Amino acid sequence: MAKLNMVEAINQALAEEMARDPAIIILGEDVGQLGGVFRVTDGLWQKFGPHRVMDTPLAESGIVGVSLGLAVGGFKPVAEIQFDGFVPPALDQIMSHLSRYRTRSRGRFSLPVVIRFPYGAGIHAPEHHSESPEAILAHTPGLKVVIPATPAEAKGLLISALRDPDPVVFMEPKRLYRAIREEVPEGDYAIPLGVARVVREGGQVTVVAWGAMVREALRAAEEVAAEGISAEVIDVRTISPLDDQTIAASVKKTGRVVIVHEAPRTCGLAAEIMARLNELAFLSLAAPPERVTGFDTVVPLLKLEEHYLPDAPRLSRAIRQVVHF
């Protein structure tokens, strides 16, 4: 097994699936000859040609809208939106059409479209390059929303997304693109969508995280372990459908929970997870759930970015709070 970073793992998943399935095509801004601004599609234009890896005009609604037509026409488009901050123009096509077509045609039209985009803060990027819009997408019926946390996870989850018959939004934590290198299984390696994973086992408190925040959660678990606190860390992996069973099972065991996301706090996914835990594990709770989130502010420019982002110290603080309640 080769040790890959997340960019390489995603690239490998795309290359292998494109070789396996001639219906898969890639389209987006700068995805062709350049290989994408983060080089995620590096070499694919050269390998599969300009009819399968296509640079489009600079128009996000256009990229998603034509992907719908391409899917009806028999293709499986992988649409790249260059940055999280440029997703809003495409939301009309995503929310008004892509997510609704199967149900509104009672199954006549199936849209196997994957929308990939790098998301999140922490790389000192310019304005509008640090957003975490997963809650808006998870609130949209008919969409699946997937966020990997490691290179191997990214490969396995993307392969499942590419094989899914429904539209999948695949959000890539750009902060981790090159931060982690790990062994990534070669070939047919699919991780089912909708199943969370326990990354680290523990008995006293459950920490729920996804994407770039999984690394922070593991750091915090390490930090509090020194104080004798045993934290279990769950990587949600698929924001929608949300595997509330795995989360609830862990909380029933630990009785305490901290949920972390870098998206704004109000109506963020942590609120939904708390609601599910009220339904599924209320009587097991020994302390009020805590959430550590981004603020209900605009993500600041790079000089203040570190103050916005949840990190291991904030998480450790919350963990101590619920454990010593």
Partner 1 sequence: MLTDEFHPLDGGRVALLAPDGSLDHARRPEDLDDAALLRLYDQMVLLRSADQVALSLQRAGRMGTYPPTLGQEATVIGSAAALAPQDWVVPSFRELGAMFLKGVPLRLLYLYWMGSEWGSHFPEGVRVLPVCAPVGTQTLHGVGLAWAAKLKGEAAVTLIYFGDGATSKGDFHEGLNFAGVFQTPSVFVCQNNQFSISVPRRHQTAAATLAQKAVAYGFPGLVVDGNDLVAVYAATREAVARARSGGGPTLIEAQTYRLGPHTTADDPTRYRTEAELAAQAPYDPLLRVRLYLERQGLLTAAEESQRQERHEEFARQEAREAEALISADPDEMFDYTFAQLPAYLQAQKDYLHRVRGDQQEAAGG
Least Cβ distance, residue 74 to partner 1 (angstroms): 6
Q: Residue 119 belongs to what H/E stretch?
A: strand 114-119
Query: Cβ distance 168 to 146 under 8 Å?
Result: yes
Partnered with residue 168 across adjacent β-strands are 114, 144
Judge whether 129 counts as a catalytic residue: yes
For partner 1, the closer CB: 53 or 217: 53
Residue 300 DSSP one-character state? P
Q: Which of left, alpha, beta for 107 (phi over 0: left; psi -120 to 50: alpha)?
A: left
For partner 1, the closer CB: 83 or 101: 101
Nearest C-alpha neighbor of 39 from the set 69, 63, 10: 10
Measured in degrees and rounded to the nearest 5, phi and psi for residue 16 equal -65, -40
Least Cβ distance, residue 210 to partner 1 (angstroms): 17
Least Cβ distance, residue 295 to partner 1 (angstroms): 29
Between the two ends of the chain, the Cα-to-Cα distance in Å is: 45
Least Cβ distance, residue 237 to partner 1 (angstroms): 14
Contact footprint for partner 1 (CB under 8 A): 25, 51, 56-57, 59, 61-62, 64-75, 89, 92-93, 96-97, 101-110, 141-142, 144, 164-166, 194, 241-242, 244-245
| Distance between CA atoms of residues 146 and 7, nearest Å | 16
Least Cβ distance, residue 227 to partner 1 (angstroms): 36
Helices (H), the chain: 6-20, 44-48, 60-72, 88-93, 101-104, 134-138, 151-163, 213-225, 244-254, 269-281, 305-308, 312-323
Return the structure tokens found at 309. 């982002």
Return the structure tokens found at 154. 């990214």
Query: Cβ distance 46 to 73 under 8 Å?
Result: no
For partner 1, the closer CB: 107 or 187: 107
Q: Which of 129, 139, 307, 324 is catalytic?
A: 129
The catalytic residues are 129
